[in-house]
Amino acid sequence: MTDKFESIRPFNHKEAIVVRKEVFADKDFKKFLEYLNMGITIDSLEQECTEFATQYDFQYAVTRKVLQFFSDQSTTHVEYKGLENISTDTPHLFIANHRDIIMDSAYLQLYFFYNQLNTSRIAIGDNLVSTPLLLNVALLNKMFLVKRSASIREKLVNSKLLSEYIHHSLATDHESVWIAQRNGRTKDGIDKTQQGLIKMLAYYNDEVDVVDALKKLRITPLTISYEYEPCDNLKARELALSEKEKYVKKEGEDFNSICTGIFCFKGRVKIVIGKPIIDELDTIPANLRKNEKINRVCDMIDQQIYQNFQLFPNHYIAYDFLENSDEFVEHYTPEQKKIFLEYIDKQSIVEDVPADKMKNYLLQIYANPVKTHFGKFLIKKEEKDW
């Protein structure tokens, strides 16, 4: 029987048994584990990988240790909330704000590991797994591919296939799914759900109403907040260079962003599982046009993300500094302000962008979550394809 999802799905258990051996035989993978120096022997991991009865066993024994190491090396504290908002024996579609390529979804998986719950499948752009090793590691960890490079016709085909796979994962395989609310990480600190994502999710069956299609997914907003934004200077630099012309990534830039995002200092981190929007979907009038319904869904997701976002002192400091105000001065101390502004000055030094311009963009990255949380500006919906 032909597997229509073979080009994008993760490895099944039979395939994974073979690929795990190949991955542990890879010299680059062994060097990576040696570099991490996690206090566990590679030989013992390699031996374990041949004995796992399920994919979860592999993830718990290997992936959990790697992700926990990443977290311990780059954070001072991680807080989790919202497990009570979901049914732990029912699959959910987690639509998340997107600040870091790997760690955004990784923290959700750690939350599940801590509670002995099955991990979710994870959507990842195929441009981010550019080598056979990276692809194998991704597919071993229940990631599925979002195909980015394609003609307009191919994009339509790929979008329908992706939509069908997500519905299949939830309804048939009973596997939860993590997916970002937008195509690529937010660069300016403004989290907003792209219309293209919701259109894609409803695309699996043209004959079904948008709202009815989305009800089947148990959409659950997921919010991650970082005290120190991953790759903040890389994001600010890209924003500055994009002022006059479209920013074009250099070869290897995505991989650099992955590594930087994993290991850069993040301070405190908070992950909040929101409430499924199933009941809210029932409030959308049936006589609205399709795009209006999609806008309503985007707003439902965004509002939970804005309200569940943890505002740290850095965010308040940046807002007050840019606005030349003391509106939120009770949320930080003079010492915290001094430390953060010194950090911003340090992050502003790059070769190809003036420091004052970098500083302005960096401060906006931290200030904008304050604006969205308190509704200080209206956000125009993006029309881009997801």
Q: Which of 54-58, 216-220, 364-368 has the lowest mean pLDDT?
A: 54-58
- Evaluate the CA torsion angle 329, 331, 333, 335 in order and state its sign: negative
Assigned domain for 178 exists? yes
For residue 5, report the phi and psi dihedrals to the nearest 5 degrees.
Answer: -100, 5
| pLDDT recorded at residue 215 | 94
Task: Provide the residue range defining the domain that includes 189.
Answer: 13-311
Comparing 81-90, 108-117, 153-162, 187-196, the range with the smallest average pLDDT is 153-162
Is the pLDDT score of 144 beyond 90? yes
Q: Is residue 354 part of a domain?
A: no
Q: How many CA atoms lie within 13 A of 242 on its CB side?
A: 13
The mean pLDDT of 84-98, rounded to a whole number, is: 96
Q: Provide the domain count of the chain.
A: 1
Rounded to an integer, what distance in angstroms lies between the CA atom of residue 345 and that of residue 321? 13
**Domain-located, residue 328:** no
Q: Which of 83-92, 197-206, 370-379 has the lowest mean pLDDT?
A: 370-379
| Cα separation, 154 vs 158, whole angstroms | 6
Q: Is residue 54 assigned to a domain?
A: yes
Per-residue pLDDT at 50: 67
Residue 2's pLDDT band (cuts 50, 70, 90): low
Does 211 fall in a domain?
Answer: yes
Q: State residue 204's pLDDT score.
A: 73
The CATH number given to whatever domain includes residue 277 is 3.40.1130
For residue 246, name the pLDDT band (cuts at 50, 70, 90): confident
Higher pLDDT residue, 148 or 196? 196
Q: 382 pLDDT band (50/70/90 cuts)? A: low
User: Is residue 2 included in any domain, yes or no?
Assistant: no
Read off φ and ψ for residue 328, nearest 5 degrees: -115, 25
Query: Considering the domain boundaries, does residue 334 fall inside one?
Result: no
Model confidence, pTM: 0.94
Task: Report which of 140, 100, 192 is spatially closest to residue 386, judged by C-alpha positions.
Answer: 192
pLDDT at 1 over 70: no
How many CA atoms, within 13 angstroms, populate the side-chain half-sphere of residue 121? 25
Residue 163 lies in a domain: yes
